[in-house]
Amino acid sequence: MLAQALTKYGPQLINLFAAALLLLSFAMLAQRRILSLINLFAAQGFVLFLSTMLVAWLTGQHHLYGSAALTLALKVIALPWILHRLIRRLNVKWDVETLINIPTTMLVGIVLVILAFNLALPITMLAGTVTRATLGIALACVLLSFLMMITRSKAVPQVIGFLSMENGLFFAATGAVYGMPMVIEFGVALDVLVGALILGIFIFEIRERFDTVDTRHLERLKERP
């Protein structure tokens, strides 16, 4: 009964998850509070986990279950936990400062989404996977995370943007070609984990040096003559 319903509505459900990912990307773009930003990132990871599970079940690609489990462990549990610890230790719970105001950022975001949809359309025509329509959305998620990294001045949201970009890439991989080989996926996942750890240490160093985690201060880093 459930299996039947899943087979019938599976592709539509994947589209729904794709839309949810895009919605969460926009929510992250509009979010001012750093704690909510981390929670949104965890929610994005969870939606990604659900959609990967569904793709795995629909296509019978068993290695995708592995990547789904990896997503759950890493992006829903480990990384948000590390980030929560990081901001607790940095003691930064203030509002996120943006370089451009939020409505303008959202407008740029819309333009990016249109761009991504247009770029993905010809590829979508060629692909034969059940998830082909989601490629445009995955691309849009990547671009939106990029935008978030650019428009935020503090280091922690930039790190979250970087991590969320990986979410988009992962979704693109499952959408276009049913996931990458396991070895690559492990590699990328570990890269992201290590990247988050290194960036955490990096943020500490920025604060040690400048008493703030505002990356604009990095412009003053110059060799003394």
Please report, as ranges, the residues that interact with another protein according to CB under 8 A. 9, 12-13, 15-16, 18-20, 22-23, 26, 30, 101-103, 106-107, 109-110, 113-114, 117, 120-121, 133-134, 136-137
Q: Least Å distance between CB 18 and another protein?
A: 7
Residue among 141 and 203 whose Cβ is closer to another protein: 141
Instruction: Give the three-state DSSP class for 33.
Output: strand
Q: Work out how close the CB of 136 gets to another protein at its nearest, in angstroms, rounded to a whole number.
A: 5
SS3 103: helix
Give the distance from CA 133 to its chain's centroid: 19
The smaller minimum CB distance to another protein, of residues 144 and 189, is found at 144
**Whose Cβ is closer to another protein: residue 58's or residue 159's?**
58
C-beta closer to another protein: residue 106 or 193? 106
Shorter beta-carbon distance to another protein: residue 23 or 77: 23
Instruction: Write down the least CB distance from residue 66 to another protein, Å.
Output: 27
Handedness of CA 2, 8, 12, 17 (dihedral sign): positive
Q: Say which residues have a Cβ less than 8 Å from residue 12's Cβ, sequence separation at least 6.
A: none
Q: In whole angstroms, how close is the CB of 13 to another protein at the nearest point?
A: 6
Asked whether 153 and 214 are in contact (CB, 8 A), the reply is yes
The pair of three-digit structure tokens given for residue 69, joined into one six-digit string: 């489990």
DSSP state string for 2-57 = HHHHHHHHHHHHHHHHHHHHHHHHHHHHH--BHHHHHHHHHHHHHHHHHHHHHHHH
Q: Shortest approach of another protein to residue 2 CB, angstroms?
A: 15
